[in-house]
Amino acid sequence: MSTFPVTRLRRLRRTESLRSLVRETRLSLDEFVLPLFVAPEPEPNAELPAMSRLSLDDLVTEADELAALGVRAVILFGIPEEKDEEGSGAYDDDGIVQRALRALRERAPRLLLLTDVCLCEYTSHGHCGLVRDGEVDNDETLELLARTAVSHVEAGADAVCPSDMMDGRVGAIREALPQTPIVAYSAKYASAFYGPFREAAGSAPAFGDRRGYQLDAANVREALRECELDLAEGADVLMVKPALPNLDVIRAVRERFDAPLAAYNVSGEYAMVKAAAAKGFLDERQAALESLTAIRRAGADFVLSYWTKDLARWL
């Protein structure tokens, strides 16, 4: 039987102060990581400002602004001057990310520095591993991923984030780096929502696609198996990517595992809201806050998002 009129749930929705008092999910800058793209030359992006490429000088200036805003963490993606079949710029001690890490470590010692560990931005063919006879060679790629992670840590990274989706890559990195936190892109789906990122990072594959190593968007049980394997290999944090199309996966991972869980609010999600707001179809701030709250509500402990800098101002 209904308990109305004794029970009236609207009572606690009447004012903003009441709504805030009983709010179940809250957003804090402590829970957000800002992706940054560093390149030899800057390349602004007026429509998607968070997808701009920053030079090393620009990156240092950006770090000062982020510190003033209270942003706590960033993840670095690098665009090298030259690419080759082996993706050698990824593990070059004088590579673009390695130089960026040294510059940031000196300028912003309190900023948490995460790095993306993958070969796709550095290979001439744009795939996430070495290509042999037209196929990505899983096992031969592992050594280079581990070398990349080691070079990042030696340059100042606090944590490394393998995003390549090669089988066994967490174990290879863990063996090389026993003490370093690994944030594993464990449930990374082959997705249409990566388009703006691939443009910013210059990482679109020159042939084929990545469905042979990234997850099928129809599968959740497989995602849970990937998470289980990554934890067994030594991952400290699991990640689901993209976030919004996979809120059910975030919830499933949260319910199955006790490990910290991240979610990547990817470029396509950011771009869709930006485009709709530019047309006047919705309010960007409200749509962004609602989206980020949904990701946290689904179970993510922290979120990688291009709105992190905006969120610092909004909060």
Q: How does 273-299 read in b/e, with b if 16+ C-beta sit within 10 Å?
A: bbeebeeeeeeeeebbbebbebbbebb
Distances in Å between the alpha carbon of 120 and those of 12, 65, 261, 267, 275?
Answer: 50, 29, 24, 16, 27
CB 139 within 8 A of CB 172: no
Q: Rounded to an integer, what distance in angstroms lies between the CA atom of residue 220 and that of residue 215?
A: 9
54: closest CA among 256, 309, 238? 309
**Candidates 83, 188, 274, 309; catalytic one:** 188
Q: Rounded to an integer, what distance in angstroms lies between the CA atom of residue 201 and that of residue 193?
A: 14
286-290 own/partner pairs: CB under 8 Å, 24+ apart:
289/27, 289/314
Which residue's structure tokens are 């190593």? 213
Question: DSSP class of residue 298?
Answer: H
**Candidates 83, 241, 274, 309; catalytic one:** 241
188 flagged as catalytic: yes
241 flagged as catalytic: yes
Q: Rounded to an integer, what distance in angstroms lies between the CA atom of residue 310 and that of residue 146?
A: 34
- 1 by Cβ neighbours in 10 Å (0-12 / 13-18 / 19+) ranks as exposed
Provide the annotated active-site residues: 188, 241
